[in-house]
Structure 1
């Protein structure tokens, strides 16, 4: 797989910003509960507030929504959370807060959070060897795993196992027919030594799902439900597309509402806390969002590949699913969409789209408190635009799969 070059504007800042993310996240994690609206809320979702009440200028957000309509983009949801409050919630035609979406690779980011809980509980270790764990769970794969004895959990979570899988262009059994994904992953060929190179391949999250499920003593989706989804008040969630042996991939198949995606971003923003509870440790959040096998990649979380000028970490899914965490702004941005996939892993058209949206519209909205004054005109403009958005259905520019249909 081709490795796209980093953002040119980020080359001098990537390591600095990535390192600063952990420090800034820690600052918000230490915020007293009395000043953290998420920590004291009673609702399972976010309290809703007008942008101007938290010092946000709604005009650039209105302009963003207008741009989406004028360019006929298939953006299905777009949310902004600021100071623990949901200040912008845009859905396209026929969609509501309770619709869920296929998140594709954002499934990996949830897996990383689940891994953190297991590490916190002493059930997993970053330096644990995955082959012995998988061999115990699947003795029939012992021979296939013989050449993978050096692979550790940290390599699986950082896309640095060194394994190569011969992906087919269509109907690949690792994604579709899926009789036994773990067997396919176990039979892959080592290309380089573990930990020596970043290579984004969907073999790794299959190994992650099987290893973490074995550590948890239950399927990974059940562990995530018990430790993440239910404690965070999520609903309408589903982890689908298990193979014939019941193994889900931790690389795709998870469906969440956009508001629950925002909760995951808020969890990272606040150092692992939600509703006054420490869901995952602050130490793990720091570890997960620090560079590992590449300066722009941690443990399944991306670093400063959307915003190059300040600390930022994000989750990214195929066809334009994003959770962007902005620590210096105490803000989270979420988008679900069907935007073009051409351009490569980090330079695809949907990645370029979210960069434009965040940098040209969201950041200006968050950066203009002097003009963040609520007026009848501003409230009317925002309400009218959201109404127009709710009647708009953009043109899907990515190849559609049945799982791409939003569900209730």
Structure 2
């Protein structure tokens, strides 16, 4: 990047995006910009919030390719044969993996019961009890935290491994990404420390060992950039097909739409996020993995959480990385 562009970019980040921890930008597979803020470094690991969802999507693509899962049209309850359906509950029987992956599954709660969720020792069963109800299957309903953990439960049932172990073996290790440990919170205070930390490497689990699917993973900006480059390469990494190209294409095209926000959604990826038909994994605080196939650009930004953080797509759209 030209020095003048770099100066302007960093001044803008300091002014309007001051919670940024680090930025890594790849173009044509080469690093063109990497910089850290707020005392962070290349070794810093940040809680990337809902970017975790897109990692779960990748793991589903791998699980399908390996034959652990037959089809995204399988019913959710196929994987939980011992689950007891509540009386008069009919909708849950018809919800598929694809409904879950596209945020098109209904839930019984109007306001998310976060306290009960965080204090539950089995997030999968807790969430299954809230799945279904009177809502329509196919209507977009974004479930930030309470909902996606069912997908973790499905991966565990299908693969016979924890999500952490399956990800380490089939995604993280091949890409040179190191996620250190599973993390269980023993108190609200521990969770608050985790959310603000820059030196904790891990993936949150409930007490039963199920990794969170909608949040809870820590990554460095370079880790995030590798994920983006893997998708830009249609699932290929150093000559090895990590994720089927067909899954990369399917997961990053529109399957559902959040009409109120005019946002399109794939399989746990936001699609068509700008005029260049790019796609992104996005999480609270401004965390983002942005992929532009036309320009062959990947922009990864890890951010410290602040409420109502400015949209990083607006920063990316300013053309600093073109």
Q: CA RMSD in A?
A: 2.0
Contact 1:103 1:317 in 2 (8 A): yes
Question: Which of the two has higher C-alpha Rg?
Answer: 1
Structure 1 pair 94–236 and aligned structure 2 pair: CA distance change class (3 A): farther
- Pick from 40, 43, 59 the counterpart of residue 98 of structure 1: 43
Tell me, yes or no, if structure 1 residue 334 matches structure 2 residue 300: yes
Tell me, yes or no, if structure 1 residue 180 matches structure 2 residue 148: no
Q: Which position in structure 2 is the counterpart of 1:350?
A: 310
- Please list the CA deviations of residues 53-103 of structure 1 after superposition, one character each: whole Å capped at 9, or x if unmatched: xxxx44323211012224471211111111111111111143211111111
More helix by share: 1
The total of aligned residue pairs comes to: 292
- Pick from 282, 298, 312 the counterpart of residue 266 of structure 2: 298
- Pick from 107, 110, 134 the counterpart of residue 191 of structure 1: 134
Q: Which position in structure 2 is the counterpart of 1:48?
A: none
- Please list the CA deviations of residues 282-320 of structure 1 after superposition, one character each: whole Å capped at 9, or x if unmatched: 111000001112261000000123x2x212000001121
Displacement, 1:275? Answer: 1.4
Task: Work out the CA distance in 1 between the residues paired with 2:278 and 2:16.
Answer: 27
Q: Which position in structure 2 is the counterpart of 1:283?
A: 246
Contact 1:113 1:280 in 2 (8 A): yes
Contact 2:20 2:38 in 1 (8 A): no
Tell me, yes or no, if structure 1 residue 221 matches structure 2 residue 164: yes
Tell me, yes or no, if structure 1 residue 151 matches structure 2 residue 95: yes
More strand by share: 2
Task: Work out the CA distance in 2 between the residues paired with 1:232 and 1:304.
Answer: 26
Q: TM-score, normalising length from structure 1?
A: 0.67
Q: Which position in structure 2 is the counterpart of 1:64?
A: 9
Displacement, 1:220? Answer: 1.4
| Alignment gaps of 5+ in structure 1 | 1-50, 52-56, 343-348, 367-408
Greater RCO, 1 or 2 (C-alpha within 8 Å, sep 6+): 1
3-state DSSP class of the match of 2:49? coil
3-state DSSP class of the match of 1:350? coil
| Alignment gaps of 5+ in structure 2 | 182-201, 258-262
Contact 2:179 2:203 in 1 (8 A): no
Q: TM-score, normalising length from structure 2?
A: 0.85
- Pick from 262, 265, 284 the counterpart of residue 318 of structure 1: 284
Query: Which structure 2 residues correspond to residues 6-405 of structure 1 after superposition, within 5 A?
Result: 51=1, 57-71=2-16, 73-124=18-69, 125-135=71-81, 139=82, 141-144=83-86, 147=90, 148-168=92-112, 172-174=115-117, 176-188=118-130, 189-194=132-137, 196-201=138-143, 202-238=145-181, 239-294=202-257, 296-305=264-273, 307=274, 309-338=275-304, 340-342=306-308, 349-351=309-311, 354-360=312-318, 363-366=319-322
Task: Work out the CA distance in 1 between the residues paired with 2:313 and 2:277.
Answer: 14
Contact 2:48 2:303 in 1 (8 A): no
Task: Work out the CA distance in 2 between the residues paired with 1:335 and 1:217.
Answer: 33
Task: Work out the CA distance in 1 between the residues paired with 2:78 and 2:204.
Answer: 26
Structure 1 pair 297–71 and aligned structure 2 pair: CA distance change class (3 A): closer
- Please list the CA deviations of residues 226-259 of structure 1 after superposition, one character each: whole Å capped at 9, or x if unmatched: 1000011112455432112111221111111110
